[in-house]
Structures are given as structure tokens and as C-alpha cells.
Amino acid sequence: MNMSSAKVTLSTIAAKAGVSVATVSRVLNDEASVSSEVREKVRDVARRLDYGKPQRRARKTRVVGLIVPDILNPFFPLLTKGIENVSKIQGYHIIFCDSEDSLKGETENIDKLLDFEVEGMVVVPSVGENRRIDELVTDHFPLVLLDRMINNEQSCTVSADNLEGAYQAVKYLINMGHRRILHLAGPANLNTGLDRLQGYQKALQEAGIEYDEQLVINGGFHFSEAYEETRRTAQGPLPFTAIFSANDTMAFGAFQALKEAGIDIPGKVSLVGYDDIPFASTMGLTTVAQPIYEMGRNAMIMLLDLVNERIAAPQQIVLRPSMVLRSTCQRIGEL
């Protein structure tokens, strides 16, 4: 693999040598606790990859990478459109990767992009921690985290204010008279899921409504689990008058399940989603609009600033979501 030393990381060597990053680190630091066979293998790979030689200017491939967690979720193509808009104008090409919501898939995609000598990459993480991303950030490889964060304060990020968006959604339902609000939550290992849950809790607390964890269903941002969980809940007397879903695809699942159970929206149950993906308007979904296209554009602009060394310190951009009122909510008691 002909990679400039600027892109060869401990994890690149580890992957090629078939050992852990910790072993590579011990070998390169001449620690005794490694067998001579493994030591030689690691040193051989490091030599072949020119690791540690004076940093040569990376070849300008004018190619960047984009990694998303789930291409089947309409949120991500719109995010990609914003990125592509900027990359096309600036004469860059994108290699697109789908991690299928897995750390393994995400890590393999990162290594493949490095092999293709991309000048930088935009990553929407599938999980909240990824050592490979930490290593690239430490190595000052041009990388922007988009929409979802990992626990690394040195990373450059573009996101929207998830807590505020969820708070506005639940406050809207409370102002419509709802006090028993089911929350279809996002993944607990993602900041977007956690921050929206916190926004839900903040609105309840501010209104003096007791938090009932029985009214929180942990989802994975997918249609299927929201459909199944809502269908199961709808088999008995409904313990809620409204649903706040952490994204639109889960709101669609809840909508489908309630409709099949003969439960009228918004007459019997009010429904609010999150994202405002293209199909939300088709079904009249009241939702929280994320500035999806702008998030993509901002991420690509930030990445090009990193690639061209125009950014000295880590940057974080946080955009504002907004409520979009359509036809899936009704005031309590309204006919």
C-alpha cells in the first residue's frame, strides 16, 4: 500500500500485521514484552509503510471519503447532497461508504478510505466510541464528525442542537394539553439519542410532569422496532395521548401501527417526529426540522479548511433545528 507516512497510523500497521494497536505501540517503543517473531513482523510492516519517516506532503488526490451509518434512512442522502454540493464546486470527488450501523463496518470503511489515499473524510459515527477515529484525530488527519459525536474533544464537528429540538417538540405537545407522552427514543449509545431524551425530560420537568420510564421505548432509529413496539402497546388501553419520536422513520412505524389498530391520528393520539425528511410532508407529520442540507454543506466546507490547513484548532459548529407544524397533532379535548 503506497501511503504517505502522514496517513500511516498505529492502527494501519496493526491491521496489516494482524496484531493490536497496543502491541504495535509496544514494539515501536522497544518494550520487552513482545515475542521476537511478532516484533519482526510489526517492524517489517512499519518499514514497508514508511511509518515515522519525515512527513511527506500527501499526494493531492482531490478525493474525500464520506461514511454514513444507514443509507436506507432518507436523512443521509439529503445530508450527502449538502456535502456533494460543496465538493463538486471545489473540484473534489467523494467515495461513499455505508457502515450499516456497526463499529466493525465503520472501522473497515475508514481503513479502505485510507488505502484509497483520500485527503480527508466526513464521518457520521454508528457508535459513540471509535479508537480508529481517535487515532486519526491525534494524527491530525483531516476528519469532520457530522451530526453524531464521539467522546473526543479534539475532533472537528458539525451538528444540530438535539436537546433544544426535542425540548421544543415536547413543550409543543404539553402546550396542547398532553401530559402522558410516549417517547420513541434513539440509540442510548449515540449523543443524538441521548440529547433528545434529555430534551424530552427537560420539557416534562419544566411543566411539573413526573418522568415515567414506562413511557420511554429505546429504539435504534429504525421503522421496524417502532412499528412492533407501538403495535404491542396499542393492543391494550393506551397509556398515552401523544408520541414524540426521536426520528421520522420511527414516527412512520408508529403511525403505521396505530393506523392498523384503528387508532386515529391526531384524534386519539398526537404524533411528532424528528428530522423532517422528504416523506414527512407527504404524510403531514408534525416534526422537528433539522437543517440537514446545511449540516452537510458546513461539514464539507470545514473538511476542505482542514485539508488546506486553514484551521489551527478544533472547531465545533452547532446549527438550530425548528418545529414544522402539520396535521398529526391535536389539542386534548378538541373535537
Residues at the site binding ligand RIB, with contacts judged by CB under 6 A: 73, 75, 147-148, 192, 221, 247, 249, 274-275
Cell of 214: 414506562
CA separation for the pair 241, 273 (Å, rounded): 15
If we measure between CA atoms, which residue out of 81, 123, 84 comes closest to residue 106? Answer: 123
Give the nearest distance from C-beta 222 to ligand RIB in angstroms: 9
Shortest Cβ 282–ligand RIB spacing (Å) = 16
Residue 99 CB, shortest distance to ligand RIB, in Å, is 12
- If the CB atoms of residues 146 and 203 are measured against ligand RIB, the closer one turns out to be 146
DSSP conformational letter for 330: -
C-alpha grid cell, residue 193: 439519542
Query: CB 75 → ligand RIB: shortest distance, Å?
Result: 4
Q: How many C-beta atoms lie closer than 10 Å to residue 18's C-beta?
A: 11
Q: CB atoms < 10 A from the CB of 38, how many?
A: 16
The distance of closest approach from Cβ of residue 192 to ligand RIB in the complex, given in angstroms and rounded to an integer, is 3
Cα 246 to Cα 220: distance, rounded to the nearest angstrom? 10
* 40 vs 132: CA distance, rounded Å: 23
Of residues 11 and 249, the one with the C-beta less far from ligand RIB: 249
Beta strands in the chain (DSSP E): 63-68, 93-98, 120-123, 143-146, 156-160, 181-185, 216-218, 242-245, 270-275, 286-289, 316-319, 322-324
Nearer to ligand RIB, 119 or 147 (CB): 147
When the beta carbons of 17 and 182 are compared against ligand RIB, the nearer one is 182
- Residue 101 or 119 with smaller CB distance to ligand RIB: 101
Closest distance of CB 148 from ligand RIB, Å: 5
73 vs 87, beta carbon nearer ligand RIB: 73
CA distance 25 to 21: 6
